[in-house]
A and B are shown apart, each in its own frame.
Chain A
Amino acid sequence: MAYSDKVIEHFEHSKNVGTLDKSDPNVGTGLVGAPACGDVMRLQLKISDDGVIQDAKFKTFGCGSAIASSSLVTEWVKGKSMDDAMKITNKEIAKELSLPPVKIHCSVLAEDAIKAAIEDFRAKRAARAAGAPAAAATVARES
């Protein structure tokens, strides 16, 4: 099976590979896996207090399509609001990368990773609003 040019491009020149500080209150981390193949994907988003995605990083251990899907979405989400990022569907990812049917699950993984990262950020923010880890926020501002 041949990979499309866009998959190869994202695979060979992956955008935004890396990590963001998980303990930063403005960073949401999404960790998802595919038990059908044993691949894992971590996607992290740095989100401003007004809900705009400022930065995105990923690390994926998986096939070319999984890496390309995560690389593509990190490009797509930057500058988007959380609500708009939540609307990204695996169909759009699969279409952009011309993924064959057997690789559709890689795009599903990327979609799930965005949602998991945003949910993580929202949970953190809710916890902060509840007043619990106020100290952590102070530390982050100082660093």
Chain B
Amino acid sequence: MTHVATHFELFNLPLSVDLDVKALDDLHRKLSLETHPDRLTGADARERRIAAEKSASLNEAVKVLRDPVRRAFYVLELKGVKLDTEHAAAALKMPMEFLEEIMERREALDGARQARELSRAQSMAKEIAALKSASLSTAQTALRADDVPTASIALGKVRYYSRFLEEVEAFEEELAAS
């Protein structure tokens, strides 16, 4: 089986949750020039296809690596835990107190939504955003120390918090549309 280059390898960067986004953008620009259609005027179909594929992989890699949340999930995936798959997610036992907390918060948000109280929902969102960034930071620390179980739980929390924030956004759109 051929090794598919990781997003980090495409840019010759070390596998890490810490990354200089500015440096990444510079690298991306430089590498993109090499696959730019203008540079391939004399190229045959095969060369063009390879260039187009390379360009697509670079764009996808940048999207993942630029975003600290997606980058952390990706680093965890490279360490063997792909939280997006049902199997890995099912194997992940989230602490019961956390599930209870999320359930309570979702019920409270639901209450605010029924009552059409946007400001209440927004203040909940603010609190959740802070919890999300604290969990992300826990995950990053754990990933730096190669502590996969702690990182998995922390990123699991990030997923639940993100879901909550999406619901608040949906509520905002719902009100804006009415």
CA A82 to CA B92, docked complex, whole Å = 26
Q: How many pairs of A and B residues are in contact by the CB < 8 Å rule?
A: 52
- The residues of B that contact A39 with a CB separation of less than 8 Å are 163
Task: Establish whether residues B94 and A35, one from each chain, have CB atoms under 8 Å apart when the complex forms.
Answer: yes
CA A117 to CA B37, docked complex, whole Å = 60
- Which residues of chain A in 36-84 are interfacial with respect to chain B, using CB atoms and an 8 Å cutoff? 36-40, 42, 59, 61
Find the B residue at minimum CB distance from A39. Answer: B163
B88 smallest CB distance to A (angstroms): 8
Q: How many residues of A contact B (CB 8 A)?
A: 16
B32 smallest CB distance to A (angstroms): 33
A69 smallest CB distance to B (angstroms): 14
CA A34 to CA B96, docked complex, whole Å = 13
Is A31 part of the contact surface with B, judged by Cβ < 8 Å?
yes
Known interface pairs A31-B96, A105-B90, A108-B90. Does A36 touch B106 (Cβ–Cβ under 8 Å)? no
Find the B residue at minimum CB distance from A42. Answer: B103
Task: Establish whether residues B83 and A31, one from each chain, have CB atoms under 8 Å apart when the complex forms.
Answer: no
| Interface, chain B (partner A; CB < 8 A) | 83-86, 88-90, 92, 94, 96, 99-100, 102-103, 106-107, 110, 156, 159-164, 167
Task: Establish whether residues B89 and A35, one from each chain, have CB atoms under 8 Å apart when the complex forms.
Answer: yes
- The residues of A that contact B85 with a CB separation of less than 8 Å are 36
| Interface, chain A (partner B; CB < 8 A) | 31-40, 42, 59, 61, 104-105, 108
A47 smallest CB distance to B (angstroms): 20
Q: What is the interface of chain A mostly: helix, strand, loop, or mixed?
A: strand
Task: Establish whether residues B99 and A40, one from each chain, have CB atoms under 8 Å apart when the complex forms.
Answer: yes
Known interface pairs A40-B99, A61-B106, A61-B110. Does A33 touch B86 (Cβ–Cβ under 8 Å)? no
- The residues of B that contact A42 with a CB separation of less than 8 Å are 103
- The residues of A that contact B163 with a CB separation of less than 8 Å are 37-39
Q: A31-B100, A35-B83, A38-B164 are in contact. List 6 more A-B contacts (CB 8 A).
A: A35-B94, A36-B84, A36-B86, A38-B161, A40-B106, A105-B89
- The residues of A that contact B90 with a CB separation of less than 8 Å are 34, 105, 108
Q: Which are the 3 A-B pairs with shortest beta-carbon distances?
A: A38-B163, A36-B89, A35-B156
